[in-house]
Amino acid sequence: MRSMASGVAKLCAGLVLFLVLTPSFAQDVCNLPAAISLPAVRSPDYVNKDKPTDYMALVLSWSPQHCEAQRNQPEEVKRKHAHQCFSENRLEWVVHGLWPQNAKASSNKDHPRHCNASDALPSDLLKQHLCMMPGVDLMQNEWQAHGTCGWSTAPAYFADIRKVYGALKRPNTQDMVGSGHGPNRLIDSTAGKVKASFLALNPSLTADQIRVNVASGNRLKEIWLCLDKTLKPAACPAGGTPDQQTISVRTPQR
């Protein structure tokens, strides 16, 4: 799995066919900061070099909920999330990561992780992808923990994420909960409705290829788009939030 270029090319060619162009997709606003600090190389929490990769998960975070969770954090923590949460930017679905996954895992520690050592990511690479994955520490961690288990270089990892993320039409707040809601509100929905909003924009995806996950209080946290090892959409293993589960979707803060 050292090179995935051919798989991504096939994915993008397929997505062009099954993703419908529509004006109803996430209207994000993102401006890069004047200066970008290089992230620190992180110490591995655990190393799984020999765990097999059975599928991939492109994990998209619902930014309004993530940012609300940062509001009462210490200033040192808030600074790490300033670009995403405490600026004039308005972000909705952003990339958390692209994860090589082991289908037989019984816990998070059973997946491939920290397969190779890595240096700090360079500033030009960070700038190129910071609106897609809005945090330099996040980008560093995702490359070290997950990218090194399937890609030989960081540019190749982030380029593959951009190709998949860019081809996926992403529903905005109105698509998921309707219009007329004020900022930073929790609106009742269901996991199935969130999933359906993705399927409406991407009609050749199937429901079993998308997983909805929630945070505490059944608040929308993230979705997974499951992929095979060539980065084509594939069925997710069992798990995630049941379609009928009532969840709360947080509206953007502005």
Known catalytic residues are 96, 142, 146
DSSP string, 124-166: HHHHHHTTTS--HHHHHHHHHHTGGGT-SSHHHHHHHHHHHHH
**Rounded (to 5) percent helix, strand, coil in the chain:** 35, 20, 45
Q: Write the CA distances from 170 to 58, 124, 174, 252, integer angstroms.
A: 13, 26, 11, 15
Q: Are 245 and 239 in contact, with CB atoms under 8 Å apart?
A: no
Residue 226 bridge partners (DSSP): 57
Q: Are 198 and 210 in contact, with CB atoms under 8 Å apart?
A: yes
How many helices and strands (H and E) does the chain possess?
Answer: 9, 6
Residue 93 bridge partners (DSSP): 62
- CA 121 – CA 123 distance, rounded (Å): 7
